[in-house]
Structure 1
Amino acid sequence: MARGIYLLEEVYFHPMNSTNPREYLQWLVDYKKEDEQRTDSDAELTKGLSVRSRAIDLVGAFYAIGITGHEQFKAVTLWDCHGGWDGGWRQQLEIYNGVKPELFLSNIDNLRHKAFSRPMGAVHGTPDLQDLRAEKYTAPFFLHEIAQVRPGAAQDYLAAVREERAPILADHGHRLVGLYEVMLSDTEVVTFWGTDIDSHLETQRAYDAAVGLDAEAAADPRLVEWRKSARQYLDGPWRETLLAPFPGSVLAPK
């Protein structure tokens, strides 16, 4: 079975007008709901909305929680390319074939300031996001990690996350959503976890207690040991931040 192919997009807004990310996320969620009625092979490039396709599936639409380390303001979107490289990914590439005029027209012109996309490939142990959809899984918050690894060490790091870290976080109320190797490069990985406020706070305090900085919480030394273990794969910064699913999006609580 071919690996799952996903796209992670970070969208930034300027000036700092807090209505811009809300308008963008609402626009995106609304028009992608209309695409749910299509078949995977039904794709077209339309004026104002770019490519219309069910196979380019908006699984996650999030507002970035700035106090956890994001540049403010920011929206994050997670897309599932049904059919992998030969499915939704191919459809995204086809809109650039001939560089049609519709490609340069958008209903959200002047709303976004800049955006950055990461193509991602799932590794062993990553849940199928379509199975999560069928389960109707939701969470009030998502933990989002981007880490720079040694060249060629992406899959080794993600295997260690699956074997060592996932059981620890599961004990602290986190559910694994994705383990992704950033494609077209060999130095970056992304992980996704569903969680809630109490589980987030419990994990932070368990770490603090393990390093002697919280005498009132129960320590979990495994959190400290994981950070030591992770360093054998890392070759630069890693950062974890929190995301809030936008109301009406697939992973958002009803």
Structure 2
Amino acid sequence: MRRGIYLVEEVDFRPMNSRRPLEYLTWLTRYKKEDEDLDAPELTEGLSIRSREIDLVGAFYAVGITGHPQFRAVTLWDCHGGWDGGWRQMMNIYDGVDDRLFLSDIDDLRFSAFSRPLGAVRGSPALADITAEGYAAPFYLYESARVRPGAALDYLDAVREERAPILADHGHRPIGLYEVLFCDTEVVTIWGVSLDAHLAMQRAGDAALGLDDEVEPDHRLPAWRKRARDFLDGPWRETLLAPFPGSRLSPAGRSSAD
């Protein structure tokens, strides 16, 4: 089985206008929904590439109170067929740098966008399998971490073997364990979670630190944070994402055809 290749993009909006993320996510989910009927990829004037093999799996509004800049949208894409499939199609639009590459219906809506290509590692579920199952969560835990040069795979192995069972006990399901490609210092992990599970885990962690005497502590939570420092070499952050209706990973966005 070939490696899963994905893409995560973070989009910022300026000036601080809360309607811009709404307009962007509404446009994007409708636009990609139309691609499901395409038989072959095509480059369309004003819209860039259209392809059902470049699949918008997740469109999210960043929960600003968990540490995101306000306002921000995050999208997660599945390159069906890996390097020779959706990734090749995205790269093809740069062959000759066609004028249509620079035309977009959403010019001036976004302030900035930062894309990171992701490679699935051992034990990472296939996004196509998750969406085929019909799984969707009300929130997603989004981890972005800088690791020591060359330590990405070791860190993700530790996450799979040591951290994932802890999170599973607290109602978190792994959506993806990813090495950020074309560099050797970044990883991304994504987990589905309910609000109740999120809150319960925070309290169990507080209790393990002696800061909450009303719930049972889970001392594995702070122990993992200490263990993670064996691999980390810079910023580490976890934030929450709320799925936008119309994306595959949104409970409110799934249709009977999905």
Q: Which category describes the TM-score, using the shorter chain as reference length? A: over 0.9
State the Cα deviation string for residues 125-175 of structure 1 (Å, max 9, x = none). 111111111111000000000000000000000000000000100110100
Partner of 1:141: 139
Partner of 1:61: 59
The alignment's C-alpha RMSD in Å is 0.7
Question: Letter of the aligned partner of 1:14 in structure 2?
Answer: R
Partner of 2:23: 23
Pairing partner for 1:218 from 179, 200, 216 = 216
**2:167 matches 1:169:** yes
Q: In structure 2, how many angstroms separate the alpha carbons of the residues matched to 1:17 and 1:89?
A: 33
Question: Letter of the aligned partner of 1:251 in structure 2?
Answer: L
Partner of 2:68: 70
SS at match of 2:37: coil
Partner of 2:37: 37
Q: In structure 1, how many angstroms separate the alpha carbons of the residues matched to 2:197 and 2:189?
A: 17
Partner of 1:122: 120
Post-superposition offset of 1:38: 2.3
State the Cα deviation string for residues 196-246 of structure 1 (Å, max 9, x = none). 111111111111100111111210000011111111010111000000000
Q: In structure 2, how many angstroms separate the alpha carbons of the residues matched to 1:127 and 1:57?
A: 16
SS at match of 2:203: helix
Partner of 2:237: 239
Pairing partner for 1:84 from 55, 78, 82 = 82
Q: In structure 2, how many angstroms separate the alpha carbons of the residues matched to 1:27 and 1:136?
A: 23
Q: In structure 2, how many angstroms separate the alpha carbons of the residues matched to 1:47 and 1:53?
A: 14
Partner of 2:46: 48
Question: Letter of the aligned partner of 1:57 in structure 2?
Answer: D
Partner of 2:14: 14
Partner of 1:179: 177
Question: Letter of the aligned partner of 2:119 in structure 1?
Answer: G
Post-superposition offset of 1:2: 1.2
My pick for the range that moved more, 76-85 or 43-52, is 43-52
Q: In structure 1, how many angstroms separate the alpha carbons of the residues matched to 2:46 and 2:52?
A: 17
Q: In structure 1, how many angstroms separate the alpha carbons of the residues matched to 2:145 and 2:215?
A: 28
Post-superposition offset of 1:192: 0.2
Between the two proteins, the alignment pairs up a number of residues equal to 252
Question: Letter of the aligned partner of 2:172 in structure 1?
Answer: H
Post-superposition offset of 1:44: 1.1
Structure 2, gaps ≥5 residues long: 253-258
SS at match of 1:148: strand
Post-superposition offset of 1:103: 0.6
Identity %: 71
Q: In structure 2, how many angstroms separate the alpha carbons of the residues matched to 1:35 and 1:134?
A: 17
Question: Letter of the aligned partner of 2:249 in structure 1?
Answer: L
Q: How does 1:196-207 map to 2 (within 5 A)?
A: 196-207=194-205
Q: In structure 2, how many angstroms separate the alpha carbons of the residues matched to 1:25 and 1:47?
A: 20
SS at match of 2:241: strand
Q: In structure 1, how many angstroms separate the alpha carbons of the residues matched to 2:202 and 2:148?
A: 27
The TM-score with structure 2 as length reference comes to 0.96
